[in-house]
């Protein structure tokens, strides 16, 4: 199944089949001012509003029932907002008409999915405000999370999307190698080199490879590698010295419509042999990474249900058992899509408890890490779940790369 793009037609029958599997009476898509981008992706409302030459500034609702014809509710001055979608569209103007219209829209619906996450356990899903959930509940409707529906109709990769990921992955690994080689060359020539210098070289190589990214890559030496989201700038960057750990984190997608991201992290050492602390941290992170990969592979091949939190726990338990529990700062992985942090399942039992399932056609990162005051280690790879298998889509780092 394809990632939904603006040009993708809404497949109502496929949605209804998924609703039947999940025992839901419907999926209620709602948006106001573009706050629920997921609803816009599913319905292509954002694109329709732009190309149709009209504003979309009022609340709209679109219900796909488990059986029968979809129906919608839009403001009377924005009648074209849902005009491109199948089904009957009703209109409201005042708040009384909005309430009565929503009551009619939800007639016969007992259990509906929305972009809602109980207790905001998964913020990436929680796009509908609490007041709107209360508004829907007052009609006797139970609101549940649309998390797995989102995956099926927004986050799955088709063959073409997977192909763009593989091409991006190959390009990123080549740029990673080139960056390490440039650091080694400069160190050997005693050329003063900053994190920012290497980052800017990588930005040029991204452009040459026709890669798009939402940010320049992360080049982190020594203590800066202990900050997972450090990014060098012209003013914050430091010089890369000898006998330091150097972390490269780079993510991008091919510059094509519908392309999906790849996202990798590798670590090198600006000397002949890393310290014992560096080596042990890397070996434990590598074991955590591989434990998560093995779990995903076994579940996919056996046809077993696996949730994101279980993958995180498989990796984090290795880190904790090795005594690194206090040095974990983030989840094990995130969804990949047209945005680097996609709308699918995250490998997370740390920042959230992600109980969404790993579905065939989803892609995500596996990236356990441990962080200290003077260095940090992370190993990030990408995985893709297939119909009866799961694969790592690029090389796995097996040891810290000695750059000198």
One-character DSSP codes across 339-371: SSS-SS--B-SSSS----B--TT-EEEE--EEE
Give pLDDT, residue 6. Answer: 35
Asked if 34 and 40 count as a contact pair (C-beta separation under 8 A), the reply is: yes
Structure confidence at residue 44 as a pLDDT band (50, 70, 90): confident
Burial of 192 (0-12, 13-18, 19+ CB in 10 A): exposed
Measured CA to CA, the distance from residue 233 to residue 238 in angstroms comes to 9
Is the pLDDT score of 229 beyond 60?
yes
Share of the chain above pLDDT 70, in %: 95
Domain assignment present for residue 47? The answer is yes
pTM for the predicted model, two decimal places: 0.89
Same domain assignment for residues 75 and 122: yes
Domain edge (last residue) among 131, 154, 177: 154
Mean of the pLDDT values across residues 332-338?
97
Give the pair of three-digit tokens for residue 211.
Answer: 């890669």
Based on its alpha-carbon atoms, the radius of gyration of the chain, rounded to whole angstroms, reads 23
Domain assignment present for residue 226? The answer is yes
62-88: burial string, b at 16+ Cβ within 10 Å, e else: bbbbbeeebbbbbbeebeebbebbeee
Q: What is the mean pLDDT of the chain?
A: 94
Same domain assignment for residues 80 and 195: no
Is the pLDDT score of 356 beyond 70?
yes
Residue 348, phi then psi, degrees to nearest 5: -145, 115
Give pLDDT, residue 19. Answer: 97
Give pLDDT, residue 9. Answer: 65
Measured CA to CA, the distance from residue 35 to residue 57 in angstroms comes to 11
Share of the chain above pLDDT 90, in %: 89
Is the pLDDT score of 258 beyond 90?
yes
Same domain assignment for residues 102 and 213: no
Residue 73 bridge partners (DSSP): 61, 90
Residues 6 or more apart from 105 whose CB is under 8 A from it?
A: 61, 63, 71, 72, 73, 90
What's 263's domain CATH number? Answer: 3.90.230.10
Domain edge (last residue) among 130, 154, 178: 154
Question: Which domain, by its residues, includes 394?
Answer: 156-402
Domain assignment present for residue 212? The answer is yes
Same domain assignment for residues 127 and 184: no
Is the pLDDT score of 49 beyond 60?
no
Same domain assignment for residues 60 and 196: no
Same domain assignment for residues 247 and 320: yes
- pLDDT tens, position by position, 262-284: 999 999 999 999 999 999 999 99
**Strand ranges (E), 56-140:** 60-65, 71-75, 88-92, 111-114
Residue 224, phi then psi, degrees to nearest 5: -65, -30
Q: For the chain, how many structural domains are there in total? A: 2
Is the pLDDT score of 392 beyond 80?
yes
Mean of the pLDDT values across residues 31-41?
91
- pLDDT tens, position by position, 96-131: 999 999 999 999 999 999 999 999 988 889 999 999
Helix (H) / strand (E) element for 326: namely: none
Is the pLDDT score of 55 beyond 80?
no
Same domain assignment for residues 272 and 335: yes
Mean of the pLDDT values across residues 198-217?
98
Is the pLDDT score of 51 beyond 70?
no
HEC sequence for 146-178 = CHHHHHHHHHCCCHHHHHHHHHHHHHHHHHHHH
Same domain assignment for residues 260 and 296: yes
Measured CA to CA, the distance from residue 38 to residue 16 in angstroms comes to 18
- pLDDT tens, position by position, 71-101: 999 999 999 999 999 999 999 999 999 999 9
DSSP strand pairing (245-254 vs 211-212): antiparallel
Same domain assignment for residues 286 and 375: yes
Domain edge (last residue) among 124, 154, 184: 154
Is the pLDDT score of 5 beyond 60?
no
Give pLDDT, residue 56. Answer: 76
Same domain assignment for residues 282 and 334: yes
Residues 6 or more apart from 174 whose CB is under 8 A from it?
A: 209
> How far lies 20's CA from each of 343, 351, 356, in Å?
22, 31, 17
Give the pair of three-digit tokens for residue 258.
Answer: 């519908």
- pLDDT tens, position by position, 293-318: 999 999 999 999 999 999 999 999 99
Give pLDDT, residue 54. Answer: 55
Measured CA to CA, the distance from residue 81 to residue 103 in angstroms comes to 20
Asked if 348 and 335 count as a contact pair (C-beta separation under 8 A), the reply is: no
What's 47's domain CATH number? Answer: 3.40.350.10
Same domain assignment for residues 235 and 379: yes
């Amino acid at each position: 199944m394809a990632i939904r793009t603006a040009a993708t037609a809404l497949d109502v029958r496929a949605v209804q089949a998924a609703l039947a599997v999940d025992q839901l009476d419907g999926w209620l898509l709602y948006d106001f001012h573009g706050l629920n981008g997921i609803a816009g992706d599913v319905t292509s409302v954002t694109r329709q509003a732009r190309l149709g030459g009209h504003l979309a500034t009022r609340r709209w609702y679109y219900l796909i029932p488990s059986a029968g014809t979809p129906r919608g509710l839009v403001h009377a001055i924005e009648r074209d907002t849902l005009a491109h979608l199948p089904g009957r569209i009703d209109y409201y103007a005042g708040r009384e008409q909005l309430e009565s219209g929503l009551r009619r829209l939800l007639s016969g619906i007992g259990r509906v999915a929305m972009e809602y996450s109980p207790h905001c356990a998964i913020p990436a899903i929680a796009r509908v405000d609490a007041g709107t959930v209360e508004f829907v509940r007052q009609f006797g409707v139970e609101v549940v999370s649309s998390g797995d529906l989102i995956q099926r109709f927004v986050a799955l990769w088709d063959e073409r999307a997977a192909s763009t990921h593989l091409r991006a992955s190959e390009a990123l690994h080549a740029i990673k190698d080139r960056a390490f080689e440039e650091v080694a060359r400069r160190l050997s020539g005693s050329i003063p080199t900053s994190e920012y210098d290497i980052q800017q070289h990588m930005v040029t190589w991204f452009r040459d490879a026709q890669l798009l990214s939402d940010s320049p890559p992360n080049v982190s030496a020594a203590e800066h590698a202990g900050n997972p989201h450090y990014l060098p700038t012209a003013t914050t960057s430091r010089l890369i010295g000898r006998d330091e750990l150097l972390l490269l984190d780079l993510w991008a997608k091919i510059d094509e419509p519908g392309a999906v991201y790849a996202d990798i992290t590798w670590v090198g050492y600006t000397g002949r042999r890393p310290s014992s602390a560096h080596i042990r941290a890397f070996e434990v992170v590598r074991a955590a990474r591989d434990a998560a990969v093995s779990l995903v592979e076994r579940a996919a091949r056996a046809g077993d249900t696996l949730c994101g939190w279980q993958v995180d726990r498989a990796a984090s338990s290795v880190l904790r058992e090795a005594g690194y529990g206090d040095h974990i700062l983030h989840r094990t992985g995130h969804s990949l899509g047209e945005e680097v942090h996609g709308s699918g399942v995250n490998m997370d039992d740390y920042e959230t408890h992600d109980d969404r399932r790993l579905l065939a056609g989803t892609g995500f990162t596996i990236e356990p890490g441990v962080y200290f005051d003077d260095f940090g280690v992370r190993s990030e790879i990408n995985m893709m779940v297939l119909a009866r298998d799961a694969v790592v889509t690029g090389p796995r780092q097996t040891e810290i790369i000695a750059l000198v």
